[in-house]
Structure formats: structure tokens, C-alpha cells
Amino acid sequence: MAQETTLLSPRFYTIDFAKLDRVSVESVREDRDILIARTKADPNRKRFKKTADWDPVDFEALEPELRKELTDFPMSSLTAEFSRCVLCKEMNRRSKNKDICELFTYMSRDKARHAGFVNDALKEAGVDVNFFLMKFNKYTCLKPRFIYYATYISDKISYARYIITYRHLEVHPAKRFHPIFKRFKEWRNDEFSHGEAFALLVRADDKCLKGMNKLWIRFFLIAVFCTMRVRDHARPAFHDALAVDIDYYDREATEMTSEISRQAFPIELNLDERFWNGCRVFAHINLAMADARAQGGVIGRLRLIGPGARAGAVFASLRARSVKPNALPASPRLEPVR
């Protein structure tokens, strides 16, 4: 499952290193130095380990659907963390830009720590992920700004999702059916800092925020928001066990991420009912496509055509909608909510 490359599974990326080497952070130097000092201090260095509060989980006693989705959730997190660890390590290793190298040294450290921690948790479920996954995946070469946009939004929405889940389980501790949730407080702060790094890179090059690039920003905002919703609706038993309403949870996380992204982007999406309806349609389409893929064969492939075309039409309609302009703040730096 970790080696699959589909529309919703994390992919392995590489970047145009010549363009990366030409990046200058002088316009955001002060904010960049503050971020470097904080990440260098590494406040979470001892947190992603199994300690006395790591409660054992009887996976065999779980309902089959919950057991499957409880495995799928950390598997998705692990492959995302590991793929970004590989990317950050390559950016550090191959770039000649000292500012970039220092930034991604710490990010690759954090991503590797997260991936290793999740992998240890998966071993309890009888799953051991081969950490040489990059040998089995195709690499997609992207322009630096595309990686900035996608990774910034992904890290910020991960922060939002972790903080919402952590707060929910503080109020409902009986629903904390796996000890990995106890690390969401530290995990959210790491994700926030990683997003800050990409916010600095976006703001360092004002060309990333002008002209046709505004259309790309819109594309990545819609893609990440819709993808998160589709993934969550594919795990109903997981969210039922947490006592979380998926629609409410996704709306909260999306709105929080949209608000945060005003630090980096000159536009924000119009998150009205038409947008949420489009997201709901995506979730239903994904379930229909999953059913067709499970059927397989010629009939299954034919059944994919209609939902695939419908998904393209819904996405196009969301992209065609107007967006709200945003006046960027003087400083791109934010602090996480405590």
C-alpha cells in the first residue's frame, strides 16, 4: 500500500536545483533567522518516543473496519512524512545555497523522526514499512514554487487537523483509542514550523505571488482541501471511534488553514456553501471510484469513466469561481496557537 502511486497517495518529488540555488532570502532574513534558531533548539527532540504513557493496543480486538482504517491512517502519514524527508534531504544535499541547506537540514531531521515514530507504531499492528520506498517509486520533478505551494498548504492543514484532534481528545480522553494521538501536540508544532519555512520561501520571491502564479495558488488550495476531505470520508469507522463529525472536522480544519494561509498568499478561497457542496460531491465520487476499482476487470474500468469525468467537471467549476484578494502582512511569520 505504501508503494502505490495514486491520485491521493503521497508521491516522491524532486526539484530543479539550479533554480533553488538562485533563491535569496535577504528580504525575509530576520524572520528566517528567528525560525532557524527555534528549529535548531529542537524542543521536541525527546518527544517522539515510546514512553510510560504509551498504552498497548489490542489490534485483534478492534472491529475489522476500524483495524483497517487505523492502519491506513498512520500508513498515509508515514509515506507523506518519509517522502518529504527524502525531498528535504535531497534539497540539503544537492543545493549550493547555504541558507537553503541549513533550513532543510532541520526539516529533514524532523520528518525522519516523525516517519520513524509512526513506523514503530505500525509494527504493533504487524506492519513494517520498508524505508527504501524511494527505490520503488517514480520521482516527479516539479518547479520550486509548486513544491512551496503544495507543501506549505499541506503542512498548515496538518497542523490544523492535529490541533483540532488533540483538543477534542483532551475533552473526550476515553475516545483516545491509540497512544499516537498523545503526540499530536508536539507534532502540530513541528508541522507549523515546517509550513513557516515554505511561507518564507514564497514571500522571498515576489514572483511566486503574481500573475499566473495566483492561478496555481488557487489550484493547490482547492486540491489540498478537497483531497483532505476525500481521505477523511474514506475512513468513517476511524472518525466514529473518535466521536468526530467528519463534515464539521473538515470544515474547521479547512477554515483554519485558509485563515493561516493569508500570511503567505495574496488570495483566499471563497469557502461558501457552493465550495462545501463541491467537496461533498468529491467524497461521493471517490467512494464510487473505490468500489469500481475493487470490482476490477473491464467492467470496473468502464465504471471509472463516469465518476472520473464528473470529478474533473467539479474541480473545474471550483477553479472557475472567484477568490477574495488578500493584503499580505509586512512579516510572514506567525506563532502557533498554544
* Residue pLDDT, tens place only, 280-331: 888 888 888 888 888 888 888 888 888 888 888 888 888 888 899 999 998 8
Q: Is the pLDDT of residue 37 over 80?
A: yes
Does residue 279 sit within a domain?
A: yes
Does residue 7 sit within a domain?
A: no
Identify the residue with better confidence: 171 or 139: 171
Does residue 121 sit within a domain?
A: yes
Task: Encode pLDDT of 177-214 as tens digits.
Answer: 888 888 888 888 888 888 999 999 999 988 899 999 99
Q: Is the pLDDT of residue 7 over 50?
A: no
What is the per-residue pLDDT for 8?
A: 42
Closest CA to 88 of 4, 10, 151: 151
Position 252 confidence tier, pLDDT thresholds 50, 70, 90: very high
Mean pLDDT of the region 45-57: 81
Does residue 332 sit within a domain?
A: no
Which range has the top average pLDDT, 21-25, 65-69, 248-252, 317-321?
248-252
Does residue 32 sit within a domain?
A: yes
Does residue 331 sit within a domain?
A: no
Q: Are strands 139-142 and 12-15 parallel, antiparallel or unpaired?
A: parallel
Number of separate domains in the chain: 1
CA distance 15 to 88: 10
Task: Encode pLDDT of 63-98 as tens digits.
Answer: 889 888 888 888 888 878 888 888 888 877 888 888
Position 230 confidence tier, pLDDT thresholds 50, 70, 90: confident
What is the per-residue pLDDT for 1?
A: 45
Percent of the chain with pLDDT over 70: 92
Identify the residue with better confidence: 269 or 50: 269
Does residue 269 sit within a domain?
A: yes
Sign of CA dihedral 284, 172, 184, 64: negative
β-pair partners for 324: 268
Identify the residue with better confidence: 166 or 49: 166
Q: Is the pLDDT of residue 6 over 70?
A: no
Q: Is the pLDDT of residue 111 over 60?
A: yes
Q: Which domain holds residue 102?
A: 12-50+60-325
CA distance 279 to 226: 6
What is the per-residue pLDDT for 3?
A: 47
Does residue 233 sit within a domain?
A: yes
Mean pLDDT of the region 126-137: 59
pLDDT, averaged across the chain? 85
- Longest Cα–Cα distance of the chain, Å, equals 59
Determine contact, residues 325/262, Cβ cutoff 8 Å: no
What is the per-residue pLDDT for 337?
A: 67
Which residues, at least 6 apart from 14, have a Cβ–Cβ distance to it below 8 Å? 87, 90, 139, 140, 141, 142
